[in-house]
Amino acid sequence: MKFRLTARTMLFLLVILLVLVIDVYPMLNMLLKSVQSTQGLTFQHFIDVFRDSRNIEAIANTFVVASSATCLSLILGTGLAYLTNLTDMPGHRFLRVLSVIPLFTPPFIYAMAWQQLFNPAGYANKLYMVMFSTREPLFNIYGPAGIILVMSAGSFATVFLITEGAFRQMDSALEEAGMACGATPMRVLKDITIPIMLPNILAAAIVVFITEISNFGIPAILGFQVSYYVLTTRIYEVLNEFYREDSFEAASAMSIILLVLALLSLWLKDRAIKQGRYEIAGATMGQQARVKLGIIKFPISIFVTILLLISSVVPLIAIGLTSLIKAYGLSPHFSNLTLANFTGVIGLSLVKKAFANSLGLSVASATIAVVIGTIIAYILTRTNWKIRRWLDIAVATPYALPGTIVALAMILAFSRPLPLLGISLYNTFWIILVAYIARYLFFVVRTVSAAIMQVNPDLEEAARISGATWYKSIRDVLLPQVRKSLISSWILVFSHTISELTLSILLWSAGNETIAVAVFNLQETGNLTSSSALAMILLLVSLGGYLLIEYVNQVNQLKTGQSIRIER
């Protein structure tokens, strides 16, 4: 069969080339940079990394906070999923709403919210000191304990969503058999439910662990104050050590270490998911018999409600109060509240520019990602090209890897002038746009691919038999069928990029700040009232995006049975 170079094929090849440029080339370039020197290939950069005690400490800290937060998240998320899905605990619908609040809260804003509660002058610490007539705070949020606490509070919702679906699919026949043989609910949970659920729990653990080792905002806000660094914040520090001649090489070597951790975790996740499919095969929906908790069901419901309010709602109330207070440190009395922080921060030229940049970047990245992602989704689902698997991997890699690695790869790839064009993207608006598209293209490809697979290809074939060109059959037949998925994908990319920090904090330059960078910089300079006001605005924008996603998702479920998985 001859290869025909049609206009459609040219379009496909152009998109594949674009993926190679924005996804594959930066990653390969970073790998090369980590083993490159003036004398040739070398492992000296890795040796230097392990010779520096600060780097060893950052690696150890990464393991400590990520592992601890993962364990706590598993306990909270799995326990909550079990209680709300398999027991008769009252109020499970309301508790489910409370549990997913951290999902639409950007991690660095979540860290700021907890900071308002438990920094030495925080609201919770002040209340404790007044009630018990002491000068010692109840808890100091800065340092490893605070980082672990906030990471766990922000990640248990991810565990909850993953394990909740598995609990719903699990056939309760084995549990009922165990109860019929005289086993107590705790014995059934220990010997039957948990072993069946173990692969799903392990998969959730790996997802959370990858999230935590790649987290920048939480350890930056709660660790910089006490010089406590993890790998992501250490890479950021090294890149800002302008006196070093090897800052890029050292950061690349540390990024490769982070990359190895992420890839190893992904491999373990795939194995866990495969085992999970085997373990629960044959499960049917709607067969769960809820475990009766008896007289303890109301105390448990009250305890879980209080725990979720403290972990999800109270921190946001705290940052909301700070955004309304005249000066940080004043008591939240009505006479001390004002809207001047909002009007003041919106009036700042830096913030105006940041809003314009973020809106431009988010709209442009979402639009371009939808166009490119739809073409890639078509290639993956409607062609038999052998390159499809590698194309899918290339698109998924920037999202699966920590954002710090993606940002550094962009810096190394585009710091030099582009061939033929002779222009450099480094320190410009455009490098952030490229990074956003590369990282979040995955959302569009996954969502639109699922939608295209539900459309019978015979419809397009019938249109072409009737005389329509390929472009006309796509425009008039396929795109209307997947329109809601295109809208959902656009909103999903927009919602993530409007509040994105990890990429932006490494790629921004003077005049190209984003809203998230502006919030972070105001926070780092000690302007807590202004940073909190701007954070609340960003939080409302993020919440609005997720509400739109949920609305479109429910419409899709009603009409086509298709759903969108929201990930943070």
Please list the alpha-helical segments (H only) found in 43-122: 44-51, 53-86, 92-99, 107-118
Number of Cβ atoms within 10 Å of the Cβ of 459: 12
- Can you say whether residue 286 is alpha, beta or left, with left for phi > 0 and alpha for psi between -120 and 50 degrees? left
Confidence of residue 265 (pLDDT cuts 50, 70, 90): confident
Q: Could you tell me the maximum CA-CA distance found in the chain, to the nearest angstrom?
A: 85
Q: Which residue has the higher pLDDT, 553 or 224?
A: 224
Both tokens of 187, joined, read: 């014995």
pLDDT at 563 over 60: no
Confidence of residue 1 (pLDDT cuts 50, 70, 90): very low
Three-state secondary structure call for residue 136: coil
- pLDDT, average across residues 136-164: 90
- pLDDT, average across residues 141-162: 91
Q: What is the pLDDT of residue 373?
A: 93
Distance CA 209, CA 148 (A): 12
Q: Does domain 55-230+269-338 have CATH number 3.40.630.10?
A: no
Give yes or no for a contact between 444 and 489, defined as CB atoms under 8 angstroms apart.
Answer: yes
pLDDT at 76 over 60: yes
Q: Percentage of the chain with pLDDT > 90?
A: 24
Q: Which residue has the higher pLDDT, 207 or 119?
A: 119
The C-alpha torsion from 317 through 322 and 323 to 329, rounded to 10°, is: 170
Please give the DSSP secondary-structure letter assigned to residue 327: S
Nearest to 200 by CA among 208, 188, 191, 210: 208
- pLDDT, average across residues 23-31: 88
Confidence of residue 277 (pLDDT cuts 50, 70, 90): very low
Q: Helices 429-453 and 388-400: crossing angle, nearest 10°?
A: 130
Q: What is the pLDDT of residue 379?
A: 92
pTM for the predicted model, two decimal places: 0.82
Give the model confidence (pLDDT) of 31-72 as tens digits: 888 887 767 777 888 888 888 899 999 999 999 999 999 999
Confidence of residue 272 (pLDDT cuts 50, 70, 90): low
Residue with tokens 């005690």: 53
Amino acid occupying residue 332: P
pLDDT at 566 over 60: no
Please list the alpha-helical segments (H only) found in 325-469: 340-347, 349-382, 388-400, 403-414, 429-453, 457-465
Sign of CA dihedral 110, 306, 149, 332: positive
- pLDDT, average across residues 6-28: 89
Give yes or no for a contact between 556 and 485, defined as CB atoms under 8 angstroms apart.
Answer: yes
Three-state secondary structure call for residue 328: strand
Give the model confidence (pLDDT) of 343-382 as tens digits: 888 888 888 999 999 999 999 999 999 999 999 999 998 8
Q: Which residues contact 276 (CB under 8 A, 6 or more apart)?
A: 166, 199, 200, 202, 203
Q: What is the pLDDT of residue 553?
A: 61
pLDDT at 554 over 70: no
Say if strands 40-41 and 36-37 run parallel, antiparallel, or are unpaired. Answer: antiparallel
Give the model confidence (pLDDT) of 172-228 as tens digits: 666 666 666 766 667 766 666 677 777 778 878 888 888 898 889 899 999 998 999
Please give the DSSP secondary-structure letter assigned to residue 171: -
- pLDDT, average across residues 425-450: 90
Q: Which residue has the higher pLDDT, 261 or 195?
A: 261
Q: Mean pLDDT for the chain? A: 83
Burial readout 34-63 (b: 16 or more C-beta within 10 A, e: otherwise): bbeeeeeeeeebbeebeeeeebeebbebbe
pLDDT at 286 over 60: no
Q: Which residue has the higher pLDDT, 262 or 377?
A: 377
Give the model confidence (pLDDT) of 381-416 as tens digits: 888 888 888 898 888 888 877 788 889 889 988 888
